[in-house]
């Protein structure tokens, strides 16, 4: 199961710093976490979402051991 890590404002909106998910693609994961954590709905579209440290598109399949990081915009650069 992919592990999703939330940082800064995304962590606050999700109410947790990490969770395991079952979704098969990044797009499915985005929709599911927004539904499960409504506070992410306004933040998630502005976040960088990295899979294994790289930006990928929503069609990307997620593997059992993938690490997904949700990084909101940070002030100052």
Block residue for tokens 């969770």 = 19
| CB atoms closer than 10 angstroms to residue 29 | 23
What's the pLDDT at 35?
97
What's the pLDDT at 17?
97
Q: What predicted TM-score, i.e. pTM, was given to this entire model? A: 0.92
Distances (CA, A) of 15 to 9, 22, 29, 30: 10, 19, 17, 16
Q: What is the pLDDT of residues 6-58, one digit of tens each?
A: 999 999 999 999 999 999 999 999 999 999 999 998 899 999 999 999 999 99
Question: How far is it, in rounded angstroms, from Cα 57 to Cα 76?
Answer: 26
Q: Does residue 75 carry a pLDDT above 80?
A: no
Q: Does residue 77 carry a pLDDT above 60?
A: no
Strand blocks (E) in 1-77: 3-6, 18-20, 48-51, 54-55, 67-71
């Amino acid at each position: 199961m992919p592990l999703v890590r939330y940082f800064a404002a995304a962590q606050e909106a999700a109410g947790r710093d990490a969770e395991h998910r079952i979704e098969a693609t990044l797009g499915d994961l985005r929709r599911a976490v927004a539904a499960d954590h409504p506070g992410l709905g306004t933040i998630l579209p502005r976040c960088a979402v990295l899979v294994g440290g790289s930006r990928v598109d929503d069609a990307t399949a997620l593997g059992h051991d993938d690490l997904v990081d949700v990084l909101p915009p940070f002030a100052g650069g």
